[in-house]
Amino acid sequence: MAARLPSAPPILPGLAYIRPLGSGGFADVFLYEQDMPRRDVAVKVLPSDVREADLRRMFNAEADVLARLSAHPSIVTVYQSGISADGRPFIVMEFCPGSLSQRYRVERMPVTEVLSIGVRMASALESAHRAGLVHRDVKPSNILVTTFGTPVLADFGISSSLIGTQADEVLAMSIPWSAPEVVAEETAGTISSEVWSLGATVYSLLAGRSPFERRERGQNSKDLLRRRIARASYTPIPRTDVPDALQDVLARSMSRIPAQRYASAREFAEALQSVQESLGVSPTPLEVPASEWAPGANPIDFADSALRGPARSRIEREVRRKTAPRTGVASLARDEDTEFTSPERARQRMLPWAVAVAALVGAVGVVASLLIAGVI
């Protein structure tokens, strides 16, 4: 199938187009500069010729999922979403200048750095799972790097609900990092298959290739990869600096039998932290929501394929503003408010004092002169 040419960047209010960033299977990403507040942003746009309801549904779901999860420090931040003037859905996101898509193939990544990335991504996935969501496409190219050098999980375009899937749900996968049951199309995605994908991703960052990829040419067709993944025979990473404990963690995460893998992304993260401790490295913090936390009252609608246009906010204006009596700590809040005074107002306040002081100085000077002259 011929590669799709990128679409033209849309005209968006408050955003100035800079350059294209890339094109995916069903969307284009452009770099824009936001006017207020001033910053670079990445804008993901659905091409205008897209008519398939499934693609619009996936795009809407990605915007909603990111809005629900982007407060997590290891998930890319979404700023806004909407419809451009020419009718194209778009998502405005944090601009991440780097990714791990090619780095692991061209350089030997340190074990300590990969362990930290693994814990961070496990934290992100655990947070998504607690919100009832699965990412379904965990792989190195979906780990971006922010301007502060922090890895973040991105591209929730094919995410879905853990509660249940629809009969006509689109089955999508990145074969080299997909679990055997996903490759066999037995499931679209589960917590267990996400643990496999993250284990395969960590393996790739250390080995410089995906777990079942071969160096020989002609040995990495989709059919050959599917067969190797179905057998799920773990091959140790050929690096002397990768400890046996880490090899064991990865082997368990990529077990052919789902029940033999780690039961959750959190368990996988804790296993990686144990490896960090054995190496004398401070464990990367596991950042997950508190157990009391629950997702928003309105669940994400993964069946929504409508084009969402701009909406106007309706505000009920009160006829008379009511103020409650200030008591206790609230009565002291006013004393703690920061006061702001413009330079002009400050000058106006100082003027009467300045005049008075000048008059007093002048009077003292006159009296002194008269004393010297002997008049007084």
Please give the radius of gyration of the chain, using alpha carbons only, rounded to the nearest integer: 30
Cα–Cα dist 17/32, whole Å: 4
Q: What are phi and psi of 177, to 5 degrees?
A: -115, 10
Q: Which residues face 89 on adjacent strands?
A: 83
Catalytic-labelled residue, pool 57, 88, 136, 228: 136
Q: Which residues face 41 on adjacent strands?
A: 32, 94
Cα–Cα dist 227/223, whole Å: 6
Residue 175 one-letter amino acid: I
Structure tokens at 217: 């040419």
Q: Which residues face 29 on adjacent strands?
A: 22, 44
Q: Which residues face 133 on adjacent strands?
A: 161
| Nearest Cα residue to 265 out of 291, 287, 283, 245 | 287
Residue 68 annotated as catalytic: no
- Report how far apart, in Å, the C-alpha atoms of 120 and of each of 26, 78, 108, 247, 265 are: 28, 18, 20, 19, 10
Cα–Cα dist 299/295, whole Å: 8
Distance of CA 38 to the CA centre of its chain: 19
Catalytic residues: 136
